[in-house]
Structure 1
């Protein structure tokens, strides 16, 4: 017997606010709010709004906000850091929600998505893939409820020593006034982000993305910068929503590392967020099976808490299974090709080197 599907209804801001007010203990990520919808729209993206899912008795089960994403080989619908659950998140309940979402977007007017991407706690049909991972799976969360002294004592000795060393090195932390955010970011901080991305091997957004974030979501953000001798060394952007803060974006120079500026900067952010009424701060992603590249930031973040929270993995819900399988295979082939080429080049280079040295055997 097939479980009945849920009823999906779009939420305007008033309806969303009513749900949020009625469930004060549910952690709702900022990415699942009307304010985030406004941010997506300001970026020029096709936000599909926030939807509530209710069972046959009218009880709220979950809500999810969606963005329509168009890439060269495919369209998709993505729920960023969602859905948000209000009912028990059992495997059976997740399956019903996924089936409902599949029905909802399979024949959605005006778009032709290949799949819907969302977080799934229990991998089962109709979830698959994903073609690529879209959100971290583990993070460090810092409890901000203890006193400042107890919070500082809870850090690893390395963090406490690094904070003191930054202070001795003349590092100071400034709260950038909101009216100066865009100008300061473009002039001083985006170059640091570019340096960070190049050093750590990731692709940053362009400056306009961060400037739009600061403009549209300013009511939920703080921008703090660590300086020495009026030179910006390290910066961070935090978000806040319903008493939960997130260490969202950050950048640092090589000089920041040698002066330990990021440690002092994050400590001052914790103090500020705590004073602002936040009870916890998520430090975003750390190393996991699908994100081994986060090993470096994991070492830094573990200095501040032992509390590791598991985040449901992002999976795809194929809406056109046959085409999804074909596109997945095509993309896997494209990603494998550069590695094959590199191995071939290495083999050829090895043969050239051994021949030049007078050795006839092929190097391995």
Structure 2
């Protein structure tokens, strides 16, 4: 079929081999079998595999890792931060990839998903703006090639003041290397619940965080900030391909009063640099898609003004009519609440 690319499933060994063909392309951890294993351990998710997409001459176009989300009233597939193309695709290539993905995942074994969510550099006619956003479109990234002094000088004045005040208040920061799951469950998750209640947002079930720490044991770290040996703020980070990310975090009112999060992240940044990472991504600020991140945006921008655009996520419906009906029914339901 000339309107689709050839697609081939990859085992972990083949995946590692094929990623070398991507050259300098930044491969996100969410587009790896490592993340797929994590997804497979979460209720309501099923990792569908990692795949390579090639032309008729077997030259590589892209790779992608996909997970099926089984939710009430809908199933959908997420290719989070992907597909990862070898070179920036033009609209013709994106359209052909959309045709390929529809063909690939239309099989009945995938329980008739409503749509595929994917990230592309351009919105083509096949793609729809999501009726609910699950992905930010801007982030703050710290360049770890800079010296520690340069990184500190890039912080704004209030950020540096917060860092110094946390030190003066007696805040200590360390990585939790033993009993991560128990410590997170007993001491960190309650802080997250408090953070969510204070900020007016929901939080994931406990299993999301503990499973991530267990399944990504070699790629995830738990850091805590303490006052008098009591945890008052924490952060979960991930590392892959020399890129580190601040994935989850929480802090209580005492942490806010003692400026603990400033010291926490400065120490994490120093640690990520020591581990050989080239960047530290604060993972999302309030762009056009996520105004609810306005409060955390103020905090993150105190570390750097280096705002980086993130490839936008779009929905690829299997049936435009089904997608239109579902999205409008969902909007109506929310208006009636």
TM-score scaled to structure 2, two decimals? 0.96
**Bigger shift: residues 328-337 or 241-250:** 328-337
**How far apart in 2 are the matches of 1:159 and 1:3?**
55
* Secondary structure of the corresponding residue to residue 183 of structure 2: helix
- In the TM superposition, residue 193 of structure 1 has moved relative to its aligned partner by 0.7
- In the TM superposition, residue 3 of structure 1 has moved relative to its aligned partner by 6.7
Equivalent residue number for residue 159 of structure 2: 159
**How far apart in 2 are the matches of 1:88 and 1:57?**
19
- In the TM superposition, residue 110 of structure 1 has moved relative to its aligned partner by 4.5
Say if 1:264 and 1:73 are closer, same or farther in 2 by CA, change over 3 A.
same
Equivalent residue number for residue 50 of structure 1: 50
**How far apart in 1 are the matches of 2:274 and 2:168?**
25
Equivalent residue number for residue 137 of structure 1: 137
**How far apart in 2 are the matches of 1:87 and 1:96?**
15
- In the TM superposition, residue 49 of structure 1 has moved relative to its aligned partner by 0.7
Contact kept in structure 2, 1:98 and 1:317, CA below 8 Å: yes
Q: Which has the larger radius of gyration?
A: 1
Contact kept in structure 1, 2:80 and 2:118, CA below 8 Å: yes
Equivalent residue number for residue 40 of structure 2: 41
**How far apart in 1 are the matches of 2:68 and 2:18?**
24
**How far apart in 2 are the matches of 1:85 and 1:23?**
8
Say if 1:110 and 1:283 are closer, same or farther in 2 by CA, change over 3 A.
closer
Contact kept in structure 2, 1:37 and 1:47, CA below 8 Å: yes
Does residue 128 of structure 2 align to residue 128 of structure 1? yes
Following superposition, which runs of at least 4 residues in structure 1 exceed 3 angstroms of deviation?
Answer: none
Contact kept in structure 2, 1:60 and 1:87, CA below 8 Å: no
**How far apart in 2 are the matches of 1:92 and 1:110?**
27
- In the TM superposition, residue 254 of structure 1 has moved relative to its aligned partner by 0.6
**How far apart in 1 are the matches of 2:110 and 2:32?**
23
Equivalent residue number for residue 15 of structure 1: 14
Contact kept in structure 1, 2:144 and 2:279, CA below 8 Å: yes
Any gaps of 5 or more consecutive residues in structure 2?
A: none
Say if 1:110 and 1:221 are closer, same or farther in 2 by CA, change over 3 A.
closer
Equivalent residue number for residue 66 of structure 2: 66
**Bigger shift: residues 11-20 or 66-75:** 66-75
- In the TM superposition, residue 213 of structure 1 has moved relative to its aligned partner by 0.7
**How far apart in 2 are the matches of 1:20 and 1:110?**
26
**How far apart in 2 are the matches of 1:274 and 1:316?**
36
Contact kept in structure 2, 1:6 and 1:96, CA below 8 Å: yes
- In the TM superposition, residue 264 of structure 1 has moved relative to its aligned partner by 0.2
- In the TM superposition, residue 270 of structure 1 has moved relative to its aligned partner by 0.3
* Secondary structure of the corresponding residue to residue 284 of structure 1: coil
